[in-house]
Amino acid sequence: MESQGIPLIGDQFPEMEVVTTHGKMTLPDAFKGQWFILFSHPADFTPVCTTEFYAFQKRYAEFRDLNTELIGLSVDQVFSHMKWTDWIRDNLDIEIEFPIIADTGKVADMLGLIHPGSPTSTVRAVFMVDPEGMVRAILYYPAELGRNFDEFIRMIKAFQVSDDQGVAMPANWPNNELFGDDVIVPPPQSEAVAAERRGKEGCLDWWLCHIPVEK
């Protein structure tokens, strides 16, 4: 793994070989043609992280229906991940099907995930990566706050609609207080187009227009 700056939104996800509970993988190539969500957790055998893994697995089929894979990460050895997922299976009656990266700290350091208070713990972070290997979203959470996994599904759906139809999403889409599940038309690129939009159905003004999602 080459040393480089922490990837930002719009950057290519850095190429890296990782050891996981499913064997060695090369990212982002292992998920080429798919979206993937790489998420870090502070440590195995911790309460909040356990609830998060349960929540991710409960939605795993929904993510896969969206052509999206999951991969976890923490600074723990692979046998620790395996014993923890065994505990989750035996005690919570659910099988963790997605891989978990066993990190020595190199991957976490490359992605900017090391907790400032502990060199052996990762912050709760999420990288959403598109089928071309581009980072589309990055989210960070404090140790005491578990993540909202339905929001991740909403974001993937929104990215896919945006990419397919060249639109943007209003607040709380698809349950926006003004436009419901309509989407936002990009701003006009010329005075002529702006003039056409004035008074047009779905346009509150030349710069604020909404349309139904294409089915």
**CATH classification of 16-146 is 3.40.50.20, yes or no?**
no
Same CATH topology for 16-146 and 166-211: the answer is: no
pLDDT for 117 equals: 66
Strands lying side by side in the sheet with 100-102: 23-27, 16-20, 100-102, 68-74, 35-40, 124-129, 135-141
Q: What is the pTM of this model?
A: 0.92
Residues with catalytic function: 49
Structure tokens at 88: 């989750």
What does CATH list as the number for 166-211? 3.30.1020.10
pLDDT for 18 equals: 97
Which stretches of the chain score pLDDT less than 50?
1-3
Packing angle, helices 47-58 and 149-165, rounded to 10: 40
Strands (E), the chain: 16-20, 23-27, 35-40, 68-74, 100-102, 124-129, 135-141, 183-184, 203-205, 208-211
Instruction: Write the burial class of residue 116 (CB in 10 Å: 0-12 exposed, 13-18 middle, 19+ buried).
Output: exposed
pLDDT for 119 equals: 63
Domain extent listing, the chain: 16-146, 166-211
pLDDT for 4 equals: 57
